[in-house]
Amino acid sequence: MTMTDTAPPARPEIRFEHVSKTFGRVGATDLFRAVDDLNLEIGSGELVAILGKTGCGKSTMFNMIAGLLEPSAGKVEVSGHDPFAQFNWFRGKIAIVFQNDRLLPWRTAIENVAFGLEMLDVPKAERMASAQAWLTKLGLGGHENDYPHALSGGMRQRVSIARAFATNANILLCDEPFSALDEMTGNRLREEFARLVRENGKTAVFITHSINEALQIGDRIVVLRRPAKIAYDTRLGRDADHGAKEDIRARIQAVLAE
């Protein structure tokens, strides 16, 4: 059974309709089901944490939103388009932050942030100004000309967040971007990330396997059970107090223990 206390969003930006994804595996005759009949609507401007144990299908789901994987059955729709079939339509409309920062080692911080804009043919002066502004917002003023190897893990992840925001994409997709960072660095970045998403009116999907991270990031938390199917879906409310969060934590723990 799916527990849910969320009303459907007024304007869905991301929609899964009876989506399944199966993989063939070497040496096996039957297909492996990573996502099973998933239905989900994410509204414009929502900041949603997708929470589930390792191997439950989070990245598979993520890759279908990003248009990197095609569903085996059902339909994925993002901004009214098919992210896999209409991949090129999404150029500049979706920005991605991965667990590994994926910076180009031969480019400085500012050149890495400007890279996404270069791909979108934004003129040089404009892209450097935008890259500079986002680096400053993320507290990296003074590090513009540093190469990735000279930056700490937290700083490199700040550069990749700046790169995502600089493209001006309306949809941000993050697959466990802070899980390799130490707790304090991760906490600060989570807070800053959530603030920037809200201030800039982005729609953001944030994948995580950590209950703490989901509670810290999401206005809404969607808990997945393996194979990816919704086990619990709840909205926190911006002013959720400690008690309310602890209630939600207890319910998530119960759902994940089933």
Ligand X SMILES: Nc1ncnc2c1ncn2[C@@H]1O[C@H](COP(=O)(O)OP(=O)(O)O)[C@@H](O)[C@H]1O
Binding residues vs ligand X (CB under 6 A): 23, 25, 32, 34, 52, 54-60
Beta carbons of 224 and 211 less than 8 angstroms apart = no
CA–CA dist 75, 20 (Å, integer):
9
Cα distance from N-terminal residue to C-terminal residue, the chain = 11
The three-state (H, E, C) secondary structure of 55-99, written as one string: CCCHHHHHHHHCCCCCCCEEEEEECCECCCCCHHHHCCCEEEECC
Return the range that interacts with Mg ion (CB under 5 A); candidates 52-60, 104-112, 189-197, 238-246.
52-60
CA–CA dist 70, 25 (Å, integer):
17
Nearer to ligand X, 55 or 123 (CB): 55
59 lines the binding site for Mg ion (CB under 5 A) = yes
Nearer to ligand X, 31 or 104 (CB): 31
**What letter does residue 223 receive in the DSSP assignment?**
E
237 binds, among ligand X, Mg ion, none (CB under 5 to 8 A by kind): none
CA atoms within 13 A on the CB side of 80: 1
112 lines the binding site for Mg ion (CB under 5 A) = no
Which residues are within 8 A (CB) of 36 and not within 5 positions of it... i.e. 6 or more apart? 20, 227, 228, 229
The minimum distance between CB 207 and ligand X, in angstroms, equals 7
The bridge status of strand 220-225 relative to strand 229-235 is antiparallel
Nearer to Mg ion, 170 or 208 (CB): 208
55 binds, among Mg ion, ligand X, none (CB under 5 to 8 A by kind): ligand X
160 lines the binding site for Mg ion (CB under 5 A) = no
Instruction: Report how many residues bind Mg ion under the rule CB under 5 A.
Output: 2
141 binds, among Mg ion, ligand X, none (CB under 5 to 8 A by kind): none
Beta carbons of 230 and 224 less than 8 angstroms apart = yes
Binding mask 11-50 for Mg ion (x = CB under 5 A): ----------------------------------------
CA–CA dist 146, 161 (Å, integer):
16
Nearer to ligand X, 12 or 52 (CB): 52
32 binds, among Mg ion, ligand X, none (CB under 5 to 8 A by kind): ligand X
Q: Which two tokens stand for residue 49?
A: 């944490």
Nearer to Mg ion, 29 or 54 (CB): 54
Token pair 């939600």: residue? 248
Q: In terms of residues, how long is the chain? A: 258
Return the range that interacts with Mg ion (CB under 5 A); candidates 57-65, 114-122, 213-221, 242-250.
57-65
182 binds, among ligand X, Mg ion, none (CB under 5 to 8 A by kind): none
Nearer to ligand X, 23 or 200 (CB): 23
Nearer to ligand X, 25 or 75 (CB): 25
CA–CA dist 99, 101 (Å, integer):
6
- Binding-site ranges for Mg ion (CB under 5 A): 58-59
